[in-house]
Amino acid sequence: MAETVTIARPYAEAAFGIADAGGALAKWARALDVMAQVAAHPEVRAAIGNPRLTDEQVYGLFASLCGDVLTTEVQNLVRVLIENGRLALAPEIRDIFQELKNEREGVVDAVIVSTGEDLAASILATLALRDLGLSEIYVKVTSTAAARAVEALNMRATVFPERVAAERLAQHIVSTAVLDYVPLGDGYSIQQIAIPDGWLGKSLRELELPRVHGIQIVALLDMLTGTLNVVPDADAPLKDSDVAIVAGPDDKIAELLQRSS
């Protein structure tokens, strides 16, 4: 698998360069997809490897099956692949081309695996997706043990909804001033909190939260108007209708809220 991808890559990159320069990425992607499907057919694969057929005969058969998606430039690629004995790599060329196209267009293929409590099914599905070349794989788990098992496969991330919900509930129980809680890892989080009484009427510049408390207000939400201000005015006085979205160490935020209660 790795060897065929290595051999296919130069052809895919050459095709991508031509397609990108000509503004024809979509047309090339369509043509390569058809080529890959035709090349993968058992009878076509047999014909490709048949030493009795000339290159021109293989080209005629292959081109007729692909139809009108083969532009002149794509036809040239097909002929080069036949001459070099690489036509069977059309599926790999298609996949690499699509990766390059997605990267150019800012598209990321991501998959979420959710199989309930069946850990074996999650692992098998994850391995199958990796074999398909996907790297952005997120796996839902139902326990810390399952998370450790999946993380051993070097996935992008595990998703543990129950733990996230429990952490948010715990934070709200500990302090009713915490309206929402998003962990960032290593003892840091983003929290949505009610404005402490001691902050009312004061500006962010006066409070000097980063210096005094080691936290930062990243946004303010006015509960009366529903307006979210992601660039708060440092000189505007805070109101009791404001909700602060703060980021910082969990212990610093907890200490601040405890002193304010």
| Three-state helix/strand/coil letters over 146-169 | HHHHHHCCCCCEEECHHHHHHHHH
**Residue 169, pLDDT score:** 45
How far apart CA 146 and CA 117 sit, in angstroms, is 9
Q: Write out pLDDT tens, residues 171-222.
A: 444 444 444 546 666 777 777 888 888 888 999 999 888 888 888 888 888 8
Handedness of CA 95, 105, 31, 7 (dihedral sign): negative
* pLDDT-above-90 percentage for the chain: 29
For residues 216 and 247, the answer to whether their CB atoms sit within 8 Å is yes
Q: Write out pLDDT tens, residues 124-157.
A: 877 777 776 666 777 777 666 766 776 666 655 5
Pairing verdict, β 216-222 and 227-229: antiparallel
**Residue 171, pLDDT score:** 47
Kindly state the average pLDDT of the residues 100-109.
76
Kindly state the average pLDDT of the residues 87-116.
82
Looking at the whole model, is its pTM more than 0.75? Answer: no
How far apart CA 103 and CA 158 sit, in angstroms, is 24
Q: Confidence class of residue 247 from pLDDT cuts 50, 70 and 90? A: confident
Question: What token pair was written down for 207?
Answer: 């409070």
Residue 222 has φ and ψ, to the nearest 5°, of -85, 110
Q: Confidence class of residue 255 from pLDDT cuts 50, 70 and 90? A: confident
**Residue 99, pLDDT score:** 86
For residues 202 and 237, the answer to whether their CB atoms sit within 8 Å is yes
pLDDT averaged over every residue in the chain: 80
DSSP single-letter state for residue 199 = G
Task: Find the helix packing angle between 25-39 and 55-66, rounded to 10°.
Answer: 110
Residue 169: how many other CB atoms lie within 10 Å: 11
Q: Which residues, other chains included, contact 235 with Cβ-Cβ below 8 Å and sequence gap of 6+?
A: 203, 204, 205
Q: Confidence class of residue 260 from pLDDT cuts 50, 70 and 90? A: low
Q: Is residue 225 helix, strand or coil?
A: coil
Which of 91-95, 119-123, 165-169, 228-232 comes out lowest in average pLDDT? 165-169
